[in-house]
Structure 1
């Protein structure tokens, strides 16, 4: 027969993880369990998007090659060459974006599987792996954001500069 101490402090609903080296509460585990399906969903969408971008790059390469080979009547040869370069450049950009989507989706997939291991095995190592995968994803997103901002600024400066150069070269009427 056990006697409960009415003056004892209440017990916590915290599970001891990894032999006393850390703790995860039920609330943390529930949040991770609710997060995992969405992370997995976005990862799968990212892989599908990467595949579509890769598929979309093929016609651009083929179209660029066709433009370079076809001798269209009434079209300057330099215009055809510029069109070829534009199509091939867009194809390369699509492949680059497909690689970025694939890497980001891979980080999310690793995060989702680490969440599953952490919530089923209650291992602190798995929880750390999940957080490291999440940090890698956000680091990639942050770097891509900085690169995008820098490229936008460069393109704006080049665009404004080229308009200024073109307008200064035009004869005034």
Structure 2
């Protein structure tokens, strides 16, 4: 467990460290803005996927319903929103912290960066578990069909 130090003997950010953090902050702001644009596009696709699927020729069969496709796109957009939001909050607070030399804003920035990577780490673990589950399922199905 990490301890909080009340004295001024903690880690100091040098001018070079602040310069690097500012450069990182600019890139994370860019990435988060692009991410928000993609989330908005996913929501728009979710809203219009039903009408697109309705205009398909009557002979073509879709493996999923229009409503299900809408829900899938909305769920993906919601999942994608959170790490982008945390990245944006990191960048915004880091900018304030660097400009005003506010330790509180720098702490909040790093808290949001931590949340960003925690979210991505949990998401990666879930995806890996899903892939393992699918691989086991495919293997078991292949064994049953081959028998």
Using structure 2 for the length normalisation, give the TM-score: 0.79
Summarize the Cα distance change of 1:163–1:62 in structure 2 as closer, same or farther, 3 Å threshold.
Answer: farther
- Alpha-carbon distance in 1 for matches of 2:51, 2:132: 32
- Alpha-carbon distance in 2 for matches of 1:165, 1:88: 33
Decide whether the 8 Å contact of 1:43 with 1:105 is kept in 2. Answer: yes
Once the two structures are superposed, residues 139-166 of structure 1 have per-residue CA deviations (whole angstroms, 9 ceiling, x without a partner) of 0010000000001111112222223333
- Kindly tell me the number of residue pairs found equivalent between the two proteins: 139
Residue 8 of structure 1 corresponds to none
- Alpha-carbon distance in 1 for matches of 2:74, 2:134: 21
Decide whether the 8 Å contact of 1:43 with 1:106 is kept in 2. Answer: yes
> Is 2:63 aligned against 1:83?
yes
**Paired residues for 1:33-48 under 5 Å:** 33-48=22-37
Once the two structures are superposed, residues 81-129 of structure 1 have per-residue CA deviations (whole angstroms, 9 ceiling, x without a partner) of x7344x5444322211111221111101100111111101112111111
Which consecutive residues of structure 1, in runs of 5 or more, have no partner in the other structure? 1-18, 169-173
Higher strand share: 1
Residue 119 of structure 1 corresponds to 98
Decide whether the 8 Å contact of 1:46 with 1:104 is kept in 2. Answer: no
Once the two structures are superposed, residues 14-56 of structure 1 have per-residue CA deviations (whole angstroms, 9 ceiling, x without a partner) of xxxxx95753211121111111110001001111111111222
Using structure 1 for the length normalisation, give the TM-score: 0.68
Q: Which has the larger radius of gyration?
A: 1
**Paired residues for 1:12-161 under 5 Å:** 20=8, 23-62=12-51, 66=54, 83-85=63-65, 88-161=67-140
Decide whether the 8 Å contact of 1:50 with 1:98 is kept in 2. Answer: yes
